[in-house]
Amino acid sequence: MENKIDAFFSENNFDFQELHSGHLKRFERKLNQTKKNAKTSWKWLSAAASIILVFGFWLGSNHQKKQMDLADISPKMEEVQNYFVSTIHQELKVLEKNRSLETEVIIEGALEQLEELEDSYKAFVKELNIEGNSRQIISEMIQNYQQRLEILENVLKQIEEIKNLNLLKDEIYI
């Protein structure tokens, strides 16, 4: 091992001369100058980033306000949408309360179907914004909500059947 180290130092020519006088002072002076420059550049950068963030939020909020949804068509459509949304949320809460090892697969499958329906609903919203108040699109949006409720109701029925089977098994073993 010592031979390798000796060979390394003998093969490489290292500079062992002393530094020029005042080298340390010049180095410290340059280091202090770069610190001052770095502080001022960060201030400008942070101010620019803040302005960009505020502008981005403003653009995002304006874009969202311009998006028309089912509730924006008429007061009756707003009632319909509120009914479906609140009912779906209630059913989802019941679904989550009934989550267990036996129902996990069924619930996850239903949630995947609901996500697909949510994606298609977003596509209907885009179409509605492009085409305007089209009866066909409005009808498809309402059917989308109905399909979601049907999925949730079917899953809750299946969960109830599983519970009943478990109760029956428990009664048999008693």
Mean pLDDT by 10 residues, the chain (174 residues): 74 69 78 62 60 70 63 86 91 87 87 92 88 86 94 92 78 56
Determine contact, residues 166/102, Cβ cutoff 8 Å. Answer: yes
pLDDT at 165: 83
**What is the C-alpha to C-alpha distance for residues 96 and 104, in angstroms, rounded to an integer?**
10
The answer to whether residues 117 and 144 touch, using CB atoms and an 8 Å cutoff, is: yes
End-to-end CA distance of the chain: 78
The helix/strand count (H/E) of the chain reads as 5, 0
Q: What is the pLDDT of residue 119?
A: 93
Q: What's residue 45's pLDDT? A: 58
Identify the pLDDT of residue 63.
57
Coil, strand or helix at 73: coil
Angstrom distance (rounded) from CA 80 to CA 86:
10
d(CA 115, CA 121) in angstroms, rounded, equals 10
pTM, two decimal places:
0.58
